[in-house]
Structure 1
């Protein structure tokens, strides 16, 4: 029994340690949790002219995807890059801990931050008059939480290839850039053609379109096509992350 319990214990302890570390870094946790909700409340509710339940729900769809991108990119991208510079990645590599436990712990922390950020947006949406069925809320939550996976893989690949400052800069650019060209702040229909074309090359655009379909807004393209593209992009991101781990000397 000891042989089988050891790997499970390593995974559990690593996840608990990473979650505790995240709670002890409010300078990282608070901005990634509060900023998406603040933007949503400001632009969709406070500054909008006569927001309707439909417009509130449409904004909820896009801002929920936006809320998941930050914890994924910064937790995996900047966080991993800084740990590499500190020698912690090298230490973990020579330890008996499997890489899966390390990645799972980072993902657990990203999911925790995403759940808090999305929960804040959902609360604001309900106050703003959004009306969705329980099935819509559940499916929307799955899409928003699932957004962490492709962006976490992208961030991990960045973190294993770049230094701390470079990773932070790239994470910031992808965080804000994905929101703009991905149609998460402004509907893609309102963007210039060249911006929409750029957005279609990002997971954010397709995840946003899936979320729009869930809340009853008409997406650009078939949801099944968007889902297939997200799956393909996630696979490519996994290759990007794995090759970064294999090639990095530390």
Structure 2
């Protein structure tokens, strides 16, 4: 790292973000599954299984699958990815370097949002093929929500990655990924799930984010958008505390 770079903090952040984006793009074993799986599930459950689905039905399903597109990159990129880098000593190396700790997290988040954006492009393209037509304002609000959905999952994943071994973090990420998707109503609307599953789902960010997305689409929702937004804010704050305490307590 040059003296000029050290003298310009913004340069450190920018270089770290660019390096992480390049690294992620060179990992097809991570990029392809996290990008293709949401589109494949969306096409299967929203268009293939349902016979002659209406555009309104596909649009309502799009709300949940956009959140689903953000969960994989966030939980695996932060959870499993951070745990493996910690085991390799990379995080310890970054800690003793002059690089701000926040630059590492921001770079990871930038890579997560990039991966989520690619997955969303595929899902939105399938929705257009199915006849979904939304106004530019609704598309914009929905996209912003779906991209922002990565934040609470990333914080939760980061806390896991700073506490667990690589193998353990993969297992936890899988459990949160699949469990949150089912209980949160991302694959099947929460309104058709049994009551006990909806109750469990209410503690997941997936549930509240999908309800907010459905509200943006004008689809039927459970509860008020204000309550769901407050729940997401509370979960995000708790995730931030979980992530920060994991960073502070981890020796490497």
What TM-score range do you get, normalising by the shorter chain?
over 0.9
Listed one character per residue, the Cα deviations across residues 142-191 of structure 1 (whole Å, up to 9, x for unaligned) are 11000010000000000000000000011011111111000011111111
User: Shift of the alpha carbon at 1:3?
Assistant: 8.4
Listed one character per residue, the Cα deviations across residues 11-48 of structure 1 (whole Å, up to 9, x for unaligned) are 01100110110011000000000000011011111121
- Counterparts of 1:149 and 1:214, CA distance in 2: 19
Listed one character per residue, the Cα deviations across residues 107-159 of structure 1 (whole Å, up to 9, x for unaligned) are 00000000000110000001001121111100000110000100000000000
Pairing of 1:113-132 with structure 2 (within 5 A): 113-132=115-134
Count of aligned pairs:
249
Instruction: Tell me the residue number matched to 2:15.
Output: 13
1:242 pairs with one of 241, 244, 248: 244
Pairing of 1:59-70 with structure 2 (within 5 A): 59-70=61-72
Pairing of 1:1-250 with structure 2 (within 5 A): 6-250=8-252
User: Shift of the alpha carbon at 1:224?
Assistant: 1.0
- Counterparts of 1:60 and 1:123, CA distance in 2: 11
Q: CA, structure 1 residues 3+10, in 2 after alignment: closer, same or farther (shift >3 Å)? A: closer
Task: List, as ranges, runs of 4+ consecutive aligned residues in structure 1 with deviation greater than 3 Å.
Answer: 2-5
Listed one character per residue, the Cα deviations across residues 183-211 of structure 1 (whole Å, up to 9, x for unaligned) are 01111111111110010000000000000
- Where do 5+ consecutive residues of structure 2 fail to align? none
Listed one character per residue, the Cα deviations across residues 68-124 of structure 1 (whole Å, up to 9, x for unaligned) are 000000010000000000000100000001111000100000000000001100000
Q: CA, structure 1 residues 4+169, in 2 after alignment: closer, same or farther (shift >3 Å)? A: closer
User: Shift of the alpha carbon at 1:4?
Assistant: 8.4
Report SS of the residue matched to 1:218: coil
TM norm structure 2: 0.97
Report SS of the residue matched to 2:221: coil
